[in-house]
Chain A
Amino acid sequence: MSLTILAVDDSRTIRDMLSLTLKQAGFTTHLADDGVHGIEVLEGLSPPPDVIITDINMPRMDGFGFIEAVRNIEKYRTIPILVLTTESGADLKQRARYAGATGWIVKPFEPKKLIRALQMVTG
């Protein structure tokens, strides 16, 4: 399984860790540091990434706004989107789901759980 991932997070540390983990799993990773940047990077990728991973709390455009913006672009309507968050409560999941999220990963993420979540949305 070789996947292309777009990871969106305003924390440089988390971006670095995602990049390292995904690279070690043999995946190609593209990075963005907020929702607005995420949309820009996404629209520059052809073919589109297999999965998008996004943080929630970000400047300019947060994760909820980013997911809604992605889902409003026809060609990305069903692309898997995983929410990366430090909160694991039902409220957060409900809001993420309502915005159009496919699933979630709780930070700090264990590499195995991250890869498992990717498998759950890509087979």
Chain B
Amino acid sequence: MSDDDPMIEIRASFFVECEELLESLQDGLQTMDDGAADDETINVVFRAVHSIKGGAGAFGLDNLVRFAHQFESVLDGVRSGNITADRNAISTFFQSGDILADLVRAARDDTESDTERTQSILKSLETILGHDSNEVVEEEIDDFQPMSLVMDLGLDVGGESDLVLSELPPPHMPVFEDGYTINFIPDSSLYVSGNEPLHLLRLLREMGQLEVICDTSSIPALSEIDVEKSYLSWTIHLTTDEDQEAVREVFDFVADLCHLTISGPGSSASPPPPRHLYPPYQP
């Protein structure tokens, strides 16, 4: 980070925020210890640890993320009623708060923290959690890799021209000799969720050469159209150097809201993802 890097200022602001969060944490734990806690008290305590973890991850503060994650997991158990915050547990929470404060200050001042004490409290939290949480922490931390923020986005976010879609339904499935063939049949819930097929087609277009066939054969007579329903589907042929994972990633947000098959390089015989993994949103 250079001197004029705005991240330096945000990092300083993060440590100020941490002090405020640690104070909220301490106040909440005291209320729990006094036996006067309600649901919001434990929510405040949870959010304090959660926010410290969130910020720490952005700055690559591994030790802080690791400890906060474990502490947060236990507090989440208390919040959901799976863990009882008895006198012993609350005592461990106070000690965890102290460790968290030490780790925050060690990160801020670039000094060493008390590793032995940290490990001891991690062990106590693990006991409260009731299983060997190391595996869980490792696994979940994989989804939470700290990274440095590089602001050169290197993305072409331009491209104003619209796609030209062939609206004639194919009499039968076209045969393409190379690239990927994508069959995309959106469910009505895809539109309700705020997703939009045209956006996905534009992203595919940026990946290579695109041929799009829109099947309009399911559109009923005008008098029978339900504006909340989905009638269109697409057969898409994409020629690209990207791998199938990259092609599938375009549909990440809608995989549970459509019928999707992608055939071509890297295809497996596995069936397409379930069409309704999640219940559709009902306004």
A81 within 8 A of partner (CB)? yes
Q: Please, which residues of chain A bring their CB within 8 A of the CB of B193? A: 97, 100-102
Contact B55 A14 (CB under 8 A): yes
Contact B149 A110 (CB under 8 A): yes
B6 within 8 A of partner (CB)? yes
Contact of B154 among A14, A81, A112 (CB under 8 A): A112
Min Cβ gap A28→B in Å is 14
Min Cβ gap A26→B in Å is 8
B1 within 8 A of partner (CB)? no
Contact A120 B44 (CB under 8 A): no
Contact B57 A80 (CB under 8 A): no
Contact of A59 among B44, B58, B203 (CB under 8 A): B44
Q: Which A residues from 51 to 102 make CB contacts under 8 A with B? A: 57-59, 71-72, 77-81, 86-88, 93-94, 97-102
- Of A78, A88, A109, most B-chain CB atoms within 10 Å: A78
A45 within 8 A of partner (CB)? no
The CA-CA distance from A112 to B249 in the complex, in Å, is: 14
In the complex, the chain A residue whose C-beta lies closest to that of B50 is A57
B202 within 8 A of partner (CB)? yes
Q: Please, which residues of chain B bring their CB within 8 A of the CB of A26? A: 157
Contact of B47 among A57, A98, A109, A121 (CB under 8 A): A57
B146 within 8 A of partner (CB)? yes
Question: How many residues on chain A are close to B (CB under 8 Å)?
Answer: 51
Q: Please, which residues of chain A bring their CB within 8 A of the CB of B51? A: 10-11, 13-14, 57
**Which of B104-112, B170-178, B237-245, B250-258 lies at the binding interface?**
B250-258
Interface bits B191-218 vs A (CB < 8 Å: 1, else 0) = 1111110111011000000000000000
Interface on B for A, CB 8 Å cutoff?
6-7, 10, 13-14, 17, 43-44, 46-47, 50-51, 53-55, 57-58, 143-147, 149-151, 153-155, 157-159, 191-196, 198-200, 202-203, 250, 252-253, 256, 277-279, 281, 283
Interface on A for B, CB 8 Å cutoff?
1, 10-14, 16-17, 20-21, 24-26, 57-59, 71-72, 77-81, 86-88, 93-94, 97-104, 106-112, 115-117, 119-123
